[in-house]
C-alpha cells in the first residue's frame, strides 16, 4: 500500500532538549515511509547533539542559520534581489517540532521570531505539530501550560509527553512521546482531507451513569476516547464543535464548547439545548441501558442484601431526528462477540429505527476494540446497507477516517 507520507515535506525543528538524540529514530521511521525530512536545529540543540548525525539520518543538509554566512544581505536589499529566508516555511506539508523545549513553546506563544526555527514557524501555513519533552517541573509550570493552552486555541497540535523516569533524575510527565505515536499523529494530519470550516458538529462521548443511591451508580467502561478524538479532529478541520461528555470521559486537548453530564436525563437535556444550530451530530456516548426502578434516597447499608430491579432506559438516539429533523446523524453500535453479519444487521436495524445516516458498529468483545482501548476496528453502515470497513487502528486515525466518510 502506498505510504501517505510519500514525498511529503516534513520540516522538523529540533530544539535543545535531552531527547535530541531520541528523535534520530523518528527521522528514520519517517524516511522509511518515504517522507522527505528537512531538519532545522536551534543553537541549543547543536550544543546537545551533533548536526552531522541529523544530516546522515535525514539525508538533507541541516539548516540552522537565519542569516546565511555567504550572503551579503545589504547588497541584496539595495539591489532589490529576492531573498529566500522563509523557504522552508513554504515547502512544509507539516511542520514538526520534536523534541520541543519549554523555551520554544514560550517563544512561539509569545510571537517571537529570532532564529531560523521560530521565524519559519511564524511564517508557515502548514499544520504545526509540537512534541514537548522536558523536566516534570518545567512541564507543570503554569507558564508552560498557559503557553500550550494558548497555542491549542490557535489550532497548534501537540503530542503530549508521557509519564516515566526522566533523564534529569526525576519521575513524572515529561518524557518525549513514543515515536510510533508521533508517526501515527503525523499520518493522521497528512491524511486529513476535507475541511469542515463553517460546519457545526455536536458530539457525545463517554459513559452515562445512573444512580442506585446517592453515592453508587450503574455505568459502563467507556473512556470517551472515540468521541473526544472525533470532536478534536473535527475542531482541527475547522468545524465549530460542541462536545457533550460523561463526567469521567477523557479531557479534550483543544478548546471548544465542552459540556459535562452525569446521567441520561442530563445528556438528553444537553442535546436538546445544543442541537439547534448544528449540521451534524455524532452520538458516540455509551448510554446506560438500565436504571434502577427505585433509586434509594439514602446511602444503602453495605451489609444489606441488595435486590436491584432495573428497567431499560430511554433510547436517546432514536429521539434525535424528532428533535431536529434535518440533522445529519451518526450513531455507534457496540455489540459483544457477535458475527460480522449480525453486527452489520443490528447496526442497520438501528439506523432504520433512528432514521440515522450512518451507524458505526464495533464488537467490543474483541481485543483492542471499543471500550477503554487506544485502538478500534469499525464497520460503517450507510442507508443502503453499504459497509465501509475501517481496520484496527489508533482511535484518532479511525476518527479521521470517519470524518472523511461523513
Ligand atoms: C543538558 C541540558 C539538557 C536540557 N534539556 C532540556 C529539555 O529536555 N527540555 C527543555 O525544555 N529544556 C532543556 N534544557 C534547557 C534548554 O536547552 C534551554 O531552555 C534552551 O534555551 C533551549 O533553547 P531552544 O529552545 O532554542 O533549543 C536543557 C539544557 C541543558 C544544558
Task: Examine domains 9-191 and 200-293+309-405 and report if their fold is the same.
Answer: yes
Distances (CA, A) of 363 to 135, 312, 343, 345, 371: 40, 21, 7, 13, 10
Q: What percent of the chain has pLDDT over 90?
A: 71
pLDDT at 300 over 70: yes
Share of the chain above pLDDT 70, in %: 99
Ligand 1 pocket mutation pick from 14, 15, 17 by most atoms within 8 angstroms of CB: 17
For the segment 16-23, the average pLDDT, to the nearest whole number, is 94
pLDDT digits (tens, 9 = 90+) for 319-357: 999 999 999 999 999 888 888 899 999 999 999 999 999
- Catalytic residue list contains 220: yes
Q: Among the residues of 124-178, which ranges form H helices?
A: 136-140, 142-153
pLDDT of 164: 86
Q: Above 90 in pLDDT, residue 24?
A: yes
**Which three three-digit cell numbers place residue 216?**
453508587
User: Which stretch of DSSP H or E encloses residue 354?
Assistant: helix 340-354
Give the pLDDT score at 160. Answer: 94
Distance (Å, whole) CA 155 – CA 12: 18
Q: Above 70 in pLDDT, residue 194?
A: no
What's the chain's average pLDDT?
92
200-293+309-405 carries CATH number 3.30.530.20: no
Domain spans in the chain, listed from the N-terminal domain onward: 9-191, 200-293+309-405
Res. 192: pLDDT tops 90: no
Nearest ligand 1 atom to alpha carbon 44: 27
Give the residue, out of 39, 44, 108, with the most ligand 1 atoms within 8 A of its beta carbon, to mutate for a pocket test: 44
Domain 9-191 annotated CATH 3.40.50.300: no
Asked if the model's pLDDT at residue 304 lies above 80, the reply is no
Can you tell me which atom of ligand 1 is nearest the CA of 45? 27
pLDDT(314) > 90: no
pLDDT of residue 46: 98
Comparing CA positions, the residue from 163, 185, 148, 173 lying closest to residue 26 is 185
Cα separation, 363 vs 336, whole angstroms: 5
Distance 69 CA to ligand 1 centre (A): 25
Residue 199 pLDDT class (50, 70, 90 cuts): very high
DSSP string, 189-253: HHH--S--TT-EEEEEESB--EEEETTEEE-----SHHHHHHHHHHHHTT-EEEEEEETTSPPPS
Nearest of 89, 88, 14 to residue 51 by alpha carbon: 14
Task: Find the mean pLDDT for residues 369-382.
Answer: 83
The tens digit of pLDDT for each residue in 213-267 reads: 999 999 988 899 999 999 999 998 889 999 999 999 999 988 899 999 999 999 9
Q: CB under 6 Å to ligand 1: residues?
A: 15-19, 42, 44-45, 48, 101-104, 133-134, 138
Whole-number pLDDT of residue 191: 81
Closest CA to 29 of 186, 190, 192, 188: 186
Q: How far is CA 139 from the centre of its chain?
A: 20
Distance CA 14, CA 2 (A): 28
pLDDT number for residue 197: 84
Q: Residues 220, 248, 262, 274: which is the catalytic one? A: 220
Ligand 1 centroid–CA 161 distance in Å is: 15
* pLDDT value, residue 376: 83
**Using one digit for the tens of pLDDT, what is the confidence trace for 105-122?**
999 999 999 999 999 999
Find the length of the chain.
406
Predicted confidence at residue 85, as pLDDT, reads 73
Amino acid at each position: 500500500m502506498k505510504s501517505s507520507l510519500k514525498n511529503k515535506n516534513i520540516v522538523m525543528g529540533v530544539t535543545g532538549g535531552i531527547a535530541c538524540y531520541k528523535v534520530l529514530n523518528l527521522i528514520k521511521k519517517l524516511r522509511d515511509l518515504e517522507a522527505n525530512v528537512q531538519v532545522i536545529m536551534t543553537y541549543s540543540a547543536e550544543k546537545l547533539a551533533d548536526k552531522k548525525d541529523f544530516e546522515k539520518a535525514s539525508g538533507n543538509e541541516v539548516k540552522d542559520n537565519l542569516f546565511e554566512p555567504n550572503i551579503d544581505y545589504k547588497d541584496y536589499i539595495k539591489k532589490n534581489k529576492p531573498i529566500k529566508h522563509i523557504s522552508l516555511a513554504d515547502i512544509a506539508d507539516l511542520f514538526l517540532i520534536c523534541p520541543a523545549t519549554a523555551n520554544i513553546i514560550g517563544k512561539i506563544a509569545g510571537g517571537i521570531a529570532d532564529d531560523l526555527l521560530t521565524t519559519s514557524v511564524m511564517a508557515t501555513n502548514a499544520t504545526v505539530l509540537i512534541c514537548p519533552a522536558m523536566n516534570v517541573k518545567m512541564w507543570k509550570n503554569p507558564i508552560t501550560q498557559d503557553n500550550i493552552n494558548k497555542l491549542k486555541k490557535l489550532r497548534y497540535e501537540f503530542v503530549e509527553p508521557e509519564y516515566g523516569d526522566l533523564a534529569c533524575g526525576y519521575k513524572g510527565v515529561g518524557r518525549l512521546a513514543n515515536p510510533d505515536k508521533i508517526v501515527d499523529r503525523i499520518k493522521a494530519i497528512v491524511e486529513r482531507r476535507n475541511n469542515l470550516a463553517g460546519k457545526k458538529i455536536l458530539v457525545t462521548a463517554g459513559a452515562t451513569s445512573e444512580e442506585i443511591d446517592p453515592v453508587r451508580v450503574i455505568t459502563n467502561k467507556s473512556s470517551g476516547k472515540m468521541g473526544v478524538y472525533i470532536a478534536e479532529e473535527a475542531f482541527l478541520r475547522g468545524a465549530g464543535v460542541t462536545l457533550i461528555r460523561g463526567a469521567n470521559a477523557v479531557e479534550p486537548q483543544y478548546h471548544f464548547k465542552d459540556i459535562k453530564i452525569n446521567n441520561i436525563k442530563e445528556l438528553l437535556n444537553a442535546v436538546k439545548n445544543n442541537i439547534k444550530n448544528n449540521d451534524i451530530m455524532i452520538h458516540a456516548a455509551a448510554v446506560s441501558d438500565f436504571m434502577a426502578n427505585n433509586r434509594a434516597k439514602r446511602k444503602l447499608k453495605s451489609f444489606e442484601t441488595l435486590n436491584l430491579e432495573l428497567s431499560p432506559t430511554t433510547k436517546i438516539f432514536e429521539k434525535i431526528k424528532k428533535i431536529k429533523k434535518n440533522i445529519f446523524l451518526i450513531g455507534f453500535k457496540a455489540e459483544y462477540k457477535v458475527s460480522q453479519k449480525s453486527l452489520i444487521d443490528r447496526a442497520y436495524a438501528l439506523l432504520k429505527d433512528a432514521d440515522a445516516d450512518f451507524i458505526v458498529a464495533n464488537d467490543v468483545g474483541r481485543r483492542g476494540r471499543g471500550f477503554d482501548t487506544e485502538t478500534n476496528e469499525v464497520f460503517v453502515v450507510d442507508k443502503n446497507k453499504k459497509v465501509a470497513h475501517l481496520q484496527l487502528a489508533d482511535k484518532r486515525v479511525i476518527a479521521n477516517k470517519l470524518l472523511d466518510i461523513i
